[in-house]
Amino acid sequence: MSNEKTFKALVVEETNDGEFKKSIQERKVSDLPENDLLIEVHYSSLNFKDAMSASGNKRITREYPHTPGIDAAGVVISDKSGTFSAGQEVLVFGYDLGMDTAGGLGQIISIPADWAIECPTSLTLKEAMIYGTGGLTAALSVQKLEKMGAKPSDGPVAVTGATGGVGSISIAILAQLGYEVIAFSGKPEQSEHLKELGASEVRHRDTINEIGNKPIGRELWANAIDTLGGDYLANLLKQTKAGGAVTSCGLAGGAEFSMTVMPFITRAVSLLGVDSVYIPLADKEAIWQRVATDMKLPNLENYGEEITLEQTPEYLDRFISSKVVGRYVVNVKG
């Protein structure tokens, strides 16, 4: 492919007064980093990390102009490494994509070949992006609980940030696997939507913190998936049944929390970290096979709203203003 070929991409630029503006621009292949694997992106999806990059958060993206998009699903144009063939459908999640490497909100990306995996045959590219990093994180969270011995007969699983990408897919996967789910959300108007996803009960997220500064509380759930962090994570742990586990994958509610060791030493509760960015490629391929089989959700189209590349600036702002509901899938190719 000629380095002069142009394609459309969302570009975030820093202005002279320190503001950040988002626009759809024509870019050239020569603008991309020199790597082995060149991919035509068909679909991407929006994540909180994309919104932070697009708003100028330099802990996420150090240099601008920049194209965000930590997820990409598309077709191989060329691969100098020989790992993939032209025309092969591939998925890319994590690593540096969309952070300091031009990401999936552009119609062409250039990446190291070992960042990509083959798209499972039972998933379309669009379906893979309905899951995206949020769905991958949800699947990894459920699998972490399973590896600790969790089973539906143990009792309910609490899920925080229930209307977000990770939370909503977690609810749906857990319900499909037979678990009772208590969904915690700050959006009470979404209660019916959460029950449609599979939640058996919906509570306001602040009820988690009613325990206050007590070192330990009543055992209210067998296990939990936390996407918020902060006091929510601490108080989930305090109210988890003996032998249960809580996964942690987000910090929208705070990066720090304070608590005693009581849940750990009196109930043997486990705190499990979940990372979907730098997990080994073999593990990433394995969890995607589960997403394509026993974790594949029926009526998958209902879990993601499809938007155009031109709509991404508006939708990224929703993450900053906490107006996100479910998953947003970007039709990048158009």
Contact 41, 109 (CB under 8 A): yes
**Residue 36 neighbours by CB distance under 10 Å:** 18
Copy the structure tokens of residue 202.
């919906």
Length of the chain: 334
Place of tokens 């939507």: 193
Q: Collapsing DSSP states into helix, strand and coil, what is residue 60? A: coil
Question: Where along the chain do its domains lie?
Answer: 6-122+296-331, 134-273
CATH superfamily of 6-122+296-331: Medium-chain alcohol dehydrogenases, catalytic domain (3.90.180.10)
List Cα–Cα distances, 199 to 3, 109, 168, 184, 286, in angstroms.
50, 38, 9, 10, 27
Nearest to 185 by CA among 228, 238, 132, 134: 228
| Binned average pLDDT, 10 residues per bin, the chain of 334 residues | 89 95 97 97 96 95 97 98 98 96 99 97 96 95 98 98 94 97 96 96 98 97 98 98 98 94 99 93 94 92 91 95 88 95
3-state DSSP helix/strand/coil % of the chain, to nearest 5: 35, 25, 40
Q: Taking the model in full, what pTM does it have?
A: 0.91
CA distance readout (Å), 235 to 148, 151, 182, 275? 20, 22, 15, 21
For residue 65, what pLDDT is reported? Answer: 97
Residue whose structure tokens are 């499809």: 306
CB atoms near residue 204 (< 10 Å): 13
pLDDT of 147: 98
**Would you say 111 and 34 are in contact if contact means Cβ atoms under 8 Å apart?**
no
pLDDT value, residue 329: 97
Q: Can you give the pLDDT at residue 184?
A: 98
Question: Can you give the pLDDT at residue 322?
Answer: 83
CATH architecture of the domain covering 134-273: 3-Layer(aba) Sandwich (3.40)
Bridging pattern class, strands 71-79 and 116-118: unpaired
Cα–Cα dist 74/79, whole Å: 13
User: How many Å apart are CA 204 and CA 184, to the nearest integer?
Assistant: 5
Rounded distance between C-alpha atoms, residue 197 and residue 192, angstroms? 9
CB-based contact 10:106 (threshold 8 Å): yes
The pLDDT, as a whole number, for residue 39 is: 99
